[in-house]
Amino acid sequence: MLIGAITPFVMNLAGETQAKAPTVSVDHRITNSTGGTDYDTSTDGDNLVAVTLESGGPLEIDQLYVTASKEIDIGSAEDPGRAYESEESLSDREAFTEGTDGPQIGIGETWQAGETIYLNPEGNATDTDVSIYWTSKSLRAQEAGEVSPGDSYEIASFET
């Protein structure tokens, strides 16, 4: 009985409990700039990495970002070629909410099982390490370009 009384007291002293990262499964494939499977690995910038949420979620997109071993840009199924419109759009970390006219991933406010986003790595899409992170706080509420490491969890990773 003493343990039952102590646990809530200790939890309240801490003020917060640690957020639990969602469990997800993703599938990835290399595609051409229109999302098709006929791509040329000898051409830089003409192929993309399609990432599909297979299970888990839905995930709020303002809590998701992606990193890669190469600078990348993020895009959508409606316009896969929109990813990597210019060198200035590349970065080592891309928020799922990136875009000037709303999120350019084109999936709405949540990423649901079966939905695909597109990544365009600098150069060739092969041999790219990709990690997807979930953060317990909205990225919009954090400083631009900053992510609090204590609130960020890798939920998927793969190599193309």
For each of the chain's 160 residues, which pLDDT tens digit applies?
445 444 444 444 455 556 689 999 999 999 876 666 666 665 555 688 999 999 998 999 999 999 999 998 887 666 655 555 556 678 888 888 877 666 777 888 999 999 999 898 888 888 999 999 999 888 766 655 567 667 889 999 999 9
Prediction pTM value: 0.78
Give pLDDT, residue 74: 87
What's the confidence (pLDDT) of residue 82?
54
Q: Give, for 92, the enclosing helix (H) or strand (E).
A: strand 91-95
Q: What share of the chain is helix, strand, coil (3-state, %, to 5)?
A: 20, 40, 45
The C-alpha atoms of residue 10 and residue 24 are separated, in whole angstroms, by 31
44 DSSP β-pair partners: none
Which domains are assigned to the chain? 24-159 (2.60.40)
Q: Secondary structure of 18-43 in the HEC alphabet? A: CCCCCCCEEEEEEEECCCCCCCCCCC
